[in-house]
Structure 1
Amino acid sequence: MSTTISFTKGHGTGNDFVIVPDPDGALDLTEDQVAALCDRHFGVGADGVLRVVRSAAIDPAQAAGGAEWFMDYRNADGSTAEMCGNGIRVYVHYLLQSGLAALGDDGILIGTRNGALRVTRSDLGYEADLGRFRLERGDVLVRARGLDVARPGLGVDVGNPHVVVALSSEDELAGLDLTAHPILDPAPPAGANVEFVVPADPLVTGDVGAVRMRVFERGVGETLSCGTGVAATALAVRDWAGSGAPDRWTVDVPGGRLGVRMVDGHVLLSGPATLVYSGQFTLA
């Protein structure tokens, strides 16, 4: 039996999503159905799916805590993920544009698998408080096509796992072949997104640092942008730069520019969100 669903296509700096409204939690999308939606040849095409569902239907505790809506994020291969920094901004933009929610002066709480996170407006569009972060000090070696030798990576947890690798030049960054999954040694138990970064010249202007990066997302592949990866990248470079490093950063990705702030042990991500079109799709 097939089911026809409504959807909206959206993106944040080129990181694109199929948004599926399901306020009462009636849908139970399988991994194959999510993969079919995200297929760029036979489906809508996206890096992931954002199911718009009330927290009460997924996690009543988050609803009781003030998060009416839960962002059920799935990677393009159908697997679940803890968080998506670009996705949460697109999710909020959809709620506002569709009249399902309003954004007050103190923003809006959105339930995620990493807890309830607050989203507010910003000069770049929306800013999401991703919560507390953790730097993983264990040594990780990263091998990738286009790199002559393995490079050390810094593990960064911003609600989902990342490994950030510093490269020596723009040429090295451009020469990466991210059609193949980078190899991590040791491999994290749940996998990780892998970010490759080069500093701007100069690294810091005024009180703002600047870097460029590319990313391979677990369950997806290379994407034009990764919000939590941008936050992890800024945190890693700030750590490498030492005690005098700034708390504000801009990170350029192939899909655009995002902003990162560190405030009271939290990391905040800001950037745009765009809705492209709406339609219907028939799921097998």
Structure 2
Amino acid sequence: MPEIPFTKGHGTGNDFVIVADPDGELDLSPEQVAALCDRRFGIGGDGLLRVVRSRAIDAGRAALAEEPAAEWFMDYRNADGSIAEMCGNGVRVFARYLLDTGLASLDPGSTLPVGTRGGVKDVTRSETGFQADLGRWRTDGEDPLVRAKGIDVARPGMNVDLGNPHVVVALASEEELEALDLTVLPIIDPAPASGANVEFVVPSDPLVKDGVGRIRMRVFERGVGETLSCGTGTVAAALAVRSWAGAQAPNNWRVEVPGGTLGVRMFPTEEGEHVALSGPATLVFSGTVALA
């Protein structure tokens, strides 16, 4: 079996197998991705980040049409091998890998554009590591019902689209959040055609402190299961709570997830409101692995 080099990285415990394939020569099957992400028989990870030049694959060429400076494309796969549109923690870890390996540079005050299937994301440095501008967000105004093990009755959720789909559910207390059993897939009614990540959120008391909103969150990621963190899920949760809180709610949020703390910031642009995610990105170790 051939061996390939890899690096393991994470953003607040949301962990990834990183494989460099600059010229797009490595055709990883869903089964191979799932084997690499397996925590018992593989390296282990919530997903896989393939580092490929945008010009080398069709999805990357679409990113170049949007932003010619987006040299690198984040080909993200879930732990089960399925393709995903975007990953907020993953794009920060992807940027860390590019910089630490010398594949890209990021001077203070400058921006690193990264191609994804959810569009080009601009990454900058921040006090806690990196900040990714995730662009515009959308909601369809629907309130699907979500059933989850550990909650007695179904709860309404809010659909949030950040280039990948989310349903955010408000819980009444920390006790309800802790009682959730996310080893079991939450059921969304009506079921989204391509599935969705489901975020369960509890506001802090007080909700706003020093002008910053504060919430806690747990997440079930589509194609993965419960993870210690989900970047786009964190952003979706902050957007939903801001919407529920009303017009006086802040545009800066601190979100606690099992793996740490992330920052969310909403800000106006010429094309409409954007939302940014900030937090740490860490590379843990590198090695080689046999590819079945």
TM-score tier after normalising by the smaller chain length: over 0.9
Which residue of structure 2 aligns with residue 69 of structure 1? 72
Partner of 1:148: 152
> Is the counterpart of residue 187 in structure 1 residue 157 in structure 2?
no
Root-mean-square deviation (CA, aligned residues, Å) is 0.8
Q: How does 1:190-201 map to 2 (within 5 A)?
A: 190-201=194-205
**Per-residue deviation, 1:60:** 2.5
Distance in 1 separating the partners of 2:54 and 2:104: 13
Q: Distance in 1 between matches of 2:131 and 2:281?
A: 10
* Superposition deviation, residue 4 in structure 1: 1.0
Q: Secondary structure at the match of 1:90?
A: helix
1:155-190: CA deviation from partner (whole Å, max 9, x where unpaired): 000110000000000000000000010000000111
d(CA) in 2 for partners of 1:164 and 1:250?
A: 16
Distance 1:107 1:152 in 2: 38
* Cα deviations by residue, 1:169-212 (Å, 9 ceiling, x for unpaired): 00000000000100000001110000000001100012110000
Q: Corresponding residue for 1:38?
A: 37
TM-score w.r.t. structure 1 length?
0.98
Residue 10 (structure 2) pairs with residue 6 (structure 1): no
Q: Which runs of 4+ in 1 moved over 4 A?
A: none
Paired letter, 2:274: H
User: Is the partner of 1:210 in helix, strand or coil?
Assistant: strand
> Which residue does the alignment assign to 1:260?
264
Matched, 1:94 2:97: yes
Gaps of 5+ in 2: none
Cα 1:177–1:55, aligned 2, differ >3 Å: closer, same or farther? same
**Which residue of structure 1 aligns with residue 172 of structure 2?**
168
State whether structure 2 residue 117 is matched by structure 1 residue 117.
Answer: no
SS in 1 for 2:92: helix
Please state if 1:277 is matched with 2:285.
yes
Instruction: Give me the identity figure in percent.
Output: 69
Q: Secondary structure at the match of 2:261?
A: strand
**Matched residue of 1:138: which SS?**
coil
Candidates 224, 229, 232, aligned match of 1:225: 229
Find the partner of 1:81 among 84, 92, 99.
84
| Distance in structure 1 (CA, Å) of the matches to 2:79 and 2:17 | 10
Distance 2:33 2:62 in 1: 26
Q: Is the 8 A contact 1:63 1:69 kept in 2?
A: no
Amino acid at match of 1:266: H
Task: Report the Cα offset of residue 63 of structure 1.
Answer: 3.3
In structure 1, what is the equivalent of residue 47 of structure 2? Answer: 48
- Paired with 1:90 and 1:97, the residues of 2 have a C-alpha distance of 10
Separation (CA, whole Å) in 2 of partners of 1:279 and 1:85: 25
Which AA in structure 1 matches 2:101? S
Residues in 2 aligned to 1:62 and 1:144: alpha-carbon distance in whole angstroms: 37
Q: Which residue of 2 aligns with 1:139?
A: 143
Task: Name the CA distance, whole Å, in 2 between partners of 1:242 and 1:37.
Answer: 44
Q: Which runs of 5+ in 1 are unaligned?
A: none
User: Counterpart of 1:242?
Assistant: 246
- CA 1:121–1:167 in 2, change beyond 3 Å: closer, same or farther? same
SS of residue in 1 equivalent to 2:142:
strand
Residues matched between the structures, number = 283
